[in-house]
Structure 1
Amino acid sequence: MELGLNGKVVLVTGGSKGIGKAIAKAFYDEGAKVAITARNKKELEQCQDEMETIFTYAGDMKDEAARKELVDVVLDKWGTIDILINNVGGSNGSTVAETELNLFRDAMELNFFSTVDLSRLVLPVMKERKNGAIINITSISGRESGSKPTYNAAKAAAISFTKAMADEAIKDGIRVNGVAPGSILHPTSVWQTRVEADPEAMNQFVQEKIPAGRFGTAEEVANVVLFLASDKASWVVGATINVDGGQSKSNF
């Protein structure tokens, strides 16, 4: 299927590894102009080696000034941003009782406020062109509290924000949607660490918790992102799509 993504300017946060890198590579293979950001310069350099024309920016997306500079440098380079993928995220803390309040703040800054701020920053250029796509990578844990409380809360907020912004932005031709991955196995994932530590327990987890009978791959998430970013998904607005092999217990 021709998705019409050739030449599109795509910004992917947290794009140097895992799901973010798979998304960046998928757009790159479609002929898009891809910019990625991450904190680790060595990982960014490796991405540059693998995808020669990719643009990289080293910065912490918890930093408001870095978010603004990121958007500015991409606009300076290519003049526009057609597609924004808010992928950066991470988990911290433990139980509610044992997690300091500042860790909840950190989780919201990274997983939620970066999504809100970057989405707002790209709005003017997308409004001017009356076209654009924003895709927020959330989690099935944002719907049913399957991970650490800090992460659950931040991803739940991002899912709600996705719908709120979608209803507002579609009037200007901008589609906002989300993708909620389940347990995705890739070299830098927590699941890979757990598989290496206790393969028997992880095999039991997969058989009991994932109806499809295996972990998902980062490329399977990326494929859904590509579709949502394309005009083939022109009537998909405000949705957050589970990519989880049936793992989620949510039925709405």
Structure 2
Amino acid sequence: MQRLPGKRALITGGTTGIGLETARRFIEEGARVIITGTNPATLESARHELGPDVLVLSSDASSATEQRNLATAVQAHFGRLDILFINAGLAQLQPIEQWTEDAFDRSFAINVKGPFFLVQALLPIFAPKASIVINGSVNAHIGMPNTSVYSATKASLISFVRTFSGELISRGIRVNAVSPGPISTPLYSKLGLSEDNLKQVAISIQEQVPAGRFGTSREIADAVLFFASDESNFSVGSELLLDGGMSEI
């Protein structure tokens, strides 16, 4: 039996990594899906991979105006929305002294401002018993060097999970979060490091994971699927850490 039959889902940042794998899982479970991204190459690749039944949209996650435009497009395509997975994000990691105001503002615009105004814009079209799932991070809970701004943005999202839950549960909208630890996704390749440095960073991170490995996009997608489905109807304001024990040991 499928777990999301006929459900209408929006996944931001759905063209690669966790977002793309979640789109695959949702489709397997009977959902209708819209995904967003910004890179023309990955937009086209995802469109080809997921097939013609999936609507693939270009949307700048940092722009409040584009979040309103996205909500309009979702309403035109679906009418109502059952599931929102807020996954689009930027991970810029560097020492405190290297941050500029522009870079700081961009991280908060993509990771915090965009999600807030997307939820606001979608409020009129959420279906009864809708589910919002936010992609947080273990970095909201640990003091890892070079992650000061990234961790702050993710901590803001986890705060949204609690405050949105308090405000929206009376409307039947549940809000929960998955917070991954290190996951094997294209995210790390976007850090601008050389191949050798990237390998060293990966080794260093993996050594901090008690489970001794990186997680997989499938493992995170399955957790998102749980929160998106009716199986989690009693989960409100919850955060599921999927970090191989990184935050606990």
Residues 1-252 of structure 1: matches in 2 within 5 Å?
2=1, 4-52=3-51, 53-92=53-92, 94-126=94-126, 129-146=127-144, 147-186=146-185, 188-190=186-188, 197=196, 199=199, 202-203=202-203, 205-206=205-206, 208-249=207-248
Root-mean-square deviation (CA, aligned residues, Å) is 2.1
The two structures have a TM-score, normalised by structure 1, of 0.90
Amino acid at match of 1:236: S
Q: List 4+ stretches of structure 1 deviating above 6 A.
A: 191-195
| Shift of residue 247, structure 1, vs aligned partner | 1.3
| Shift of residue 178, structure 1, vs aligned partner | 0.6
Give CA deviations for 1:200-221 in whole Å, capped at 9, x if unaligned: 7744642x31111111001100
Partner SS for 1:97: helix
Specify whether residues 142 and 92 from structure 1 end up closer, same or farther in structure 2 by C-alpha distance, changes over 3 A only.
Answer: same
| Shift of residue 116, structure 1, vs aligned partner | 0.9
Cα separation, 2, equivalents of 1:191 and 1:248:
23
Cα separation, 2, equivalents of 1:183 and 1:4:
27
Give CA deviations for 1:37-94 in whole Å, capped at 9, x if unaligned: 1001221111111111110111211112211111111110111111111101012262
Cα separation, 2, equivalents of 1:195 and 1:212:
26
Cα separation, 2, equivalents of 1:137 and 1:58:
20
| Shift of residue 192, structure 1, vs aligned partner | 9.7
Kept in 2: contact 1:3–1:231 (CA 8 A): no
Cα separation, 1, equivalents of 2:131 and 2:194:
35
| Shift of residue 29, structure 1, vs aligned partner | 1.4
Partner SS for 1:88: coil
Amino acid at match of 2:37: A
Kept in 2: contact 1:185–1:191 (CA 8 A): no
Partner SS for 2:97: coil
The two structures have a TM-score, normalised by structure 2, of 0.91
Amino acid at match of 1:64: A
The percent identity for this pair of structures is: 32
Amino acid at match of 2:132: I
Kept in 1: contact 2:93–2:147 (CA 8 A): yes
| Shift of residue 97, structure 1, vs aligned partner | 2.6
